[in-house]
Structures are given as structure tokens and as C-alpha cells.
Amino acid sequence: QSTWGEVRVKSATGFDRIGVAYYNTPRSDPIGENESSWCIARLQGEDRLTALWNKKPKKLPDTVGLPSKIGVFLDMDANYVAFFNGESQQLLHTFKTEFVQPVFAAFSVWPKDIAISSGLLVPDFLAF
């Protein structure tokens, strides 16, 4: 089962973390700071993206930039979640993991706002 969603960031500083998490992920933990959530983050004071899982940050190359649209592709059967620049279709980062329960969209928005589109058809560039 695969799912595609997009998050449109209304300004370059419009989000903190975009990802997926298990339903029972503690709401007190920031997304990506535990074993039950995976995300792409724009950490405070940084002009680049970072992939986060279980408090293990991986800074993405400067060439990735700060896209205004981020695509999230979740494939539960293949056990991975991938993040894309939603405009250029550039792969930003992939987390390969064994999902032990369903995951849901998770967001941390600061200080601006975002627009979320879910239930979209998987784009052609991801068709296998």
C-alpha cells in the first residue's frame, strides 16, 4: 500500500518538521526525536533541511535548497518513506524501516503556515 501527499510551504521559513509518525507517538516529543516518527526538518536558525529519526540528524546537501512544496511518499509494503522536492521531483531523503503499525502524517509548523494535500494520486515519476 502506497500513499502520496504534499505540503505546500507558504514561505521559506514556514515549517519546522514534516513527516510521518505512529499514532501512539508521544505528543510531547518533537517529530523525529524518537523511534516512532520520521521527518524532514528545517531546524531553527538553519537555511538547510535535515532528515531526522530517533534523534539522529542527517543534514541534507546545500544543493537541496528550501523547496516550497515537499512530497511525502509512503510505501508500507516496501517499508520506506521518501521525501521529495515537490516541484523538481528531486529525492530529498529516504528512510527504510520496518513499520510495525500504521503511520499518519505529522507536522510541526512554526512560525508561518502550510497547506496540506493528501489522498493524491501517486505521481508518474514514482510509478514502478
The three cell numbers locating residue 58: 542527517
Predicted confidence at residue 107, as pLDDT, reads 79
CA 41 to chain CA mean position, Å: 8
pLDDT digits (tens, 9 = 90+) for 26-72: 888 888 999 999 999 887 777 789 999 999 999 999 888 888 888 89
Give the pLDDT of residue 115. Answer: 55
pLDDT tens digit string along 66-102? 888 888 999 999 999 999 998 898 999 999 999 999 9
Classify burial at 24, counting beta carbons within 10 Å of its beta carbon; exposed 0-12, middle 13-18, buried 19 or more: exposed
The Cα–Cα gap between 112 and 55 comes to 24
